[in-house]
Amino acid sequence: MTAGTELRVDLHLHTTASDGVLTPAALIAAVADGGVGLCAVTDHDTIEGLPEAGAAADALGVRLVAGVELSTLWSGRTLHVLGLGIDPGSPDLSTLLALLGEARHARARAIAARLDRAGAPGGAILEHLRDLRIVTRTHFARELVARGHARDAGAAFSRWLARGQPGYAAAGWPELAPTIDAIRAAGGVAVLAHPLRYKLSAGQRRTLVKEFARLGGTGMEVVTGGQSPTQTETAVGLCLRAGLEGSQGSDCHDPSLPWQRPGRLAKLAPAIVPVWHRWQADLVAAPASTA
């Protein structure tokens, strides 16, 4: 970073360790290409992409924050919580990730059985996915498309995999409180991912962010990929009201899609404390010779 240059930040990115299309090394190359200086790889319920991402980040001069996107339940609904700045060696985190992997495998079997009953090749898809450590609905969606049961991933969700559709199966994710506890035990900060994407009333959403802060959450995503300016304004209000720090991330699964390009995000409102202040100090202040 040279003085006066804006630091580009993207703290929500996926790789092939979960449902992204790029390997960790290829993702970091795309991140560097997009001028991002500080990023977090946040795969669903796994940290297995981090060593490869870390090596690529070192080679390309990008600062990588160790991250994960955890699936969790709050009032019976699925929420996603980012753990940022975590110690990948943490035993508490390992225990939680083992539970999550199990929950994903159990749900994948239930999804397959339901798809079979509804006339789609669930069992064959499950067999095809059997070596994956982390099985997501995105993997099912891609296979449904490949086998001609939906025209694209979005259609696979709305026809088969979304809540209320024939291939939907509830998952036994851990509750929100122990999830936040495990992130903090691993030395990380908990950030509520894409708070406007959950089907909640405005009142329920305010309750959620308040509860999230009370349980030890540090921040929420204020700027996420594909969000309208009006939505960003709503998120800013929620964040300030709850006294949370703010994060930003593209939630990129495929950098070749224009609306998912790493680092192409609106600016965080100046009233909000950026959650990345704890990782950026030397990046911003460093003289050019040590950058």
Contact by Cβ (8 Å): 262, 37? no
| CA nearest neighbour of 280 among 85, 139, 143 | 85
Q: Cβ of residue 249: shortest distance to Mn ion, in angstroms?
A: 8
How far is residue 86's CA from residue 83's CA, in Å, rounded to a whole number?
A: 6
**Which is closer to ligand AMP, CB of 19 or CB of 52?**
19
Among 61, 123, 154, 172, binds ligand AMP (CB under 6 A): 154
**Which is closer to ligand AMP, CB of 20 or CB of 37?**
20
**Contact status: 45 vs Mn ion (CB under 5 A):** no
Q: Which stretch binds ligand AMP (CB under 6 A): 33-41, 51-59, 150-158, 239-247?
A: 150-158
Pairing of strands 189-192, 77-84: antiparallel
**Contact status: 8 vs ligand AMP (CB under 6 A):** no
Three-state SS for 174?
coil
Q: Cβ of residue 95: shortest distance to Mn ion, in angstroms?
A: 22
**Which is closer to ligand AMP, CB of 103 or CB of 283?**
103
- In the bound state, the residue with its beta carbon closest to ligand AMP is 136
Nearest-10 Cα torsion for 226, 231, 235, 241: 180
10 Å CB burial of residue 119 (0-12, 13-18, 19+) is exposed
Within 110-139, the residues that bind ligand AMP by CB under 6 A are: 136-138
Q: Cβ of residue 287: shortest distance to Mn ion, in angstroms?
A: 35
Within 59-98, the residues that bind ligand AMP by CB under 6 A are: 71
Q: Which stretch binds ligand AMP (CB under 6 A): 123-131, 151-159, 214-222, 275-283?
A: 151-159
Phi (first) and psi of residue 130, to 5 degrees: -65, -25
**Contact status: 153 vs ligand AMP (CB under 6 A):** yes
| Sheet (strand 219-224) strand order | 8-13, 36-41, 63-74, 77-84, 189-192, 219-224, 245-249
Q: Which stretch binds Mn ion (CB under 5 A): 46-54, 70-78, 80-88, 238-246?
A: 80-88
10 Å CB burial of residue 89 (0-12, 13-18, 19+) is exposed
| CA nearest neighbour of 100 among 18, 37, 20 | 18
Residue 221 binds which entry of Mn ion, ligand AMP, none, CB below 5-8 Å type-dependent: none
Task: Catalogue the E-assigned strands of 165-237.
Answer: 189-192, 219-224
How far is residue 80's CA from residue 82's CA, in Å, rounded to a whole number?
A: 7
**Contact status: 276 vs ligand AMP (CB under 6 A):** no
Q: Cβ of residue 71: shortest distance to ligand AMP, in angstroms?
A: 6
**Which is closer to Mn ion, CB of 5 or CB of 158?**
158
Number of residues that bind ligand AMP (CB under 6 A): 10
DSSP per-residue letters across 22-73: S-HHHHHHHHHHTTEEEEEE--BT--TTHHHHHHHHHHHT-EEEEEEEEEEE
**Which is closer to ligand AMP, CB of 168 or CB of 279?**
168
Binding site for ligand AMP (CB under 6 A): 19, 44, 71, 136-138, 153-154, 157, 253
Interface with Mn ion by CB under 5 A: which residues?
Answer: 19, 69, 80, 193, 251
